[in-house]
């Protein structure tokens, strides 16, 4: 395959992964805040918004279609346009009587489009960049993916909070916010059309193309696949539950065990110092692995991504009135997450190695989504049963399997290290 060399990765990798993450975070995370402000219970929020992970879990079923047919760039541009329409649909139905059912239906459609967009975007990354470039840009890639998440959790939530205050109507505020998100997706689609490379994807003759079954079978016959999938499922077991209840914890009244923050304050915490910490952690993580290889950094990065969860236990126990305390916890968590997630992303690249990189990467990220979905579905019930303090203690305990798998999983220690040549 050849690529348009005039398209510098420094220009298109950030925009592509910004556009990959924004719909994901709006569907999976911002929807939690929206439903919380519209009066939906924690149990229903945890169950139904976690169920929205399902398209990411089952996306390997249709990933071979993108591997064998069509063009990656055309695929992700089409999906991004559909996502703009989906968010417009959410915005236009938030104020209806059946808003929960109708907006969930739109989010479901958006989840399938977003999952397909992920497959195509990741596929372009894997075929347009050389292996050492993939390792070098993994920090930039995961950083801008997280910047997109902070854009959702920060800027978009701040806009919603401002509109809640100025309009005095959460339904109208979130309706307008989702219409803004639709416009943002349309703009980003245009940017990706102009900046991403046009890669010529060389395929074997149609008669020699492998079957869907072979594409799947070659993944599950990889060496040490059981350990590898255990790592993918369990590395973020604590976070899979924390991420669903963190925003409700910040928003719930102090009498209910929360911190009683406003929507704007929650957006501000994630959208200011958290962004700086995240950028630093993600970039440093990518550079560290590119310099030394995955083996040296796996356990330190597992510690970085999991240990900061203890801060939420302290927050729930003390319920400090100062917003600076909560901000400090979030900054530390974001710094650790950015650094630790780099190891996870490089391992997924290793797991996708072979002749079917796009489909195998989709399979790996499907298992990653399963590891987020199943525990997340129970998180609301766990929180209501244990209270916030007990729940966050449980989250810390749930990080133990991640440490065990990070220590046990097999991979070349030098994988991801930049070539000396």
Report phi then psi at 216, rounded to 5.
Answer: -70, -45
Taking the C-alpha atoms of residue 336 and residue 281, their distance in angstroms, rounded to an integer, is 6
Q: What is the mean pLDDT of residues 323-335?
A: 91
> What percent of the chain shows pLDDT beyond 70?
93
Q: What tens digit of pLDDT does each residue of 299-309 get?
A: 999 999 999 99
**Structural domain tally of the chain?**
1
In whole angstroms, give the CA distance from residue 301 to residue 41.
Answer: 34
pLDDT at 5: 43
Report helix, strand or coil for 387: helix
- Note whether residue 413 is domain-resident: no
pLDDT (tens digit per residue) in 338-370: 899 889 989 998 998 887 787 788 788 889 889
- Helices 294-306 and 237-251 sit at what angle, rounded to 10 degrees? 30
Q: What is the pLDDT of residues 169-180, one digit of tens each?
A: 999 999 999 999
pLDDT in tens, 29-54: 899 999 999 999 999 998 999 989 89
Does residue 227 contact residue 29 with C-beta atoms inside 8 Å? Answer: no
* CATH code of residue 56: 1.20.1250.20
Q: Is residue 417 part of a domain?
A: no
Domain of 289 in residue numbering reads as 9-408
Least confident of 75-79, 92-96, 156-160, 214-218: 214-218
Q: What is the pLDDT of residue 3?
A: 44
**386 pLDDT exceeds 70?**
yes
CA distance 267 to 15: 22
200 beta partners = 2
Output DSSP code: residue 256: G
**pLDDT band at residue 270 under the 50/70/90 scheme:** confident
Q: What is the mean pLDDT of residues 187-207?
A: 77
Mean pLDDT for all residues in the chain? 88
- Asked if residue 415 belongs to a domain, the reply is no
Within a domain: residue 391?
Answer: yes
pTM over 0.75: yes
Contact residues for 252 (Cβ-Cβ < 8 A; gap 6+) = 258, 259, 260, 388
Q: What angle do CA 29, 31, 32 make, to 5 degrees?
A: 70
* Alpha-carbon gap, residue 374 to 355, rounded angstroms: 30
CA dihedral 204, 206, 212, 213 (to 10 degrees): -80
Rounded CA-CA distance 116/362 in Å is 9
In a domain, 420, yes or no: no
> Quick check: helix, strand or coil at residue 17?
helix
In a domain, 211, yes or no: yes
pLDDT in tens, 219-229: 888 889 999 99
In a domain, 414, yes or no: no
Does some domain include residue 155?
A: yes
d(CA 81, CA 412): 39
Are residues 272 and 136 in contact, defined by beta-carbon separation less than 8 angstroms? no
- DSSP structure class, residue 95: T
């Amino acid at each position: 395959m050849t690529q348009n060399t005039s398209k510098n990765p420094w220009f298109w990798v950030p925009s592509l992964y910004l556009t990959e993450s924004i719909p994901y975070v709006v569907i999976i995370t911002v929807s939690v805040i929206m439903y919380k402000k519209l009066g939906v219970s924690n149990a229903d929020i945890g169950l139904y918004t976690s169920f929205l992970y399902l398209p990411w879990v089952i996306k390997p079923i249709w990933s071979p279609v993108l591997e064998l047919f069509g063009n990656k760039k055309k695929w992700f541009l089409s999906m991004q346009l559909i996502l703009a329409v989906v968010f417009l649909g959410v915005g236009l139905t938030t104020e209806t009587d059946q808003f929960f059912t109708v907006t969930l239906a739109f989010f479901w459609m958006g989840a399938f489009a977003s999952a397909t967009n992920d497959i195509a975007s990741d596929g372009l990354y894997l075929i347009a960049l050389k292996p050492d470039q993939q390792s070098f840009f993994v920090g930039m890639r995961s950083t801008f993916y997280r910047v997109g998440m902070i854009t959702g959790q920060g800027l978009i939530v701040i806009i919603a909070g401002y509109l809640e205050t100025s309009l005095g109507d959460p339904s109208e505020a979130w309706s307008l916010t989702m219409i803004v998100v639709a416009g943002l997706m349309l703009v980003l689609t245009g940017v990706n059309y102009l900046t991403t490379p046009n890669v010529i994807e060389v395929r074997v003759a149609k008669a020699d193309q492998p079957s869907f079954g072979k594409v799947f079978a070659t993944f599950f016959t990889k060496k040490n696949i059981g350990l590898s999938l255990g790592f993918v499922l369990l590395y973020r077991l604590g976070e899979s539950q924390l991420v669903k209840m963190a925003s409700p914890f910040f928003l719930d009244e102090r009498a209910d065990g929360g911190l009683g923050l406003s929507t704007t304050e929650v957006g501000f915490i994630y959208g200011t110092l958290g962004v700086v910490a995240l950028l630093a952690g993600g970039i440093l993580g990518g550079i560290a692995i590119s310099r030394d290889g995955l083996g040296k950094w796996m356990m330190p990065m597992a510690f970085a991504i999991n240990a900061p969860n203890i801060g939420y236990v302290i927050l729930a126990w003390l319920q400090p009135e100062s917003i600076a305390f909560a901000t400090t916890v979030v900054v530390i968590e974001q710094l650790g997450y950015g650094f630790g997630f780099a190891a996870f992303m490089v391992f997924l690249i290793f797991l996708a190695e072979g002749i079917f990189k796009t489909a195998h990467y989709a399979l790996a990220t499907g298992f990653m989504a399963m590891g987020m979905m199943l525990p997340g579905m129970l998180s609301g019930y766990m929180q209501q049963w244990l209270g916030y303090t007990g729940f966050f203690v449980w989250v810390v305990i749930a990080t133990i399997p991640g440490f065990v798998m990070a220590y046990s999983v097999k991979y070349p220690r030098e994988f991801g290290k930049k070539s000396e040549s």
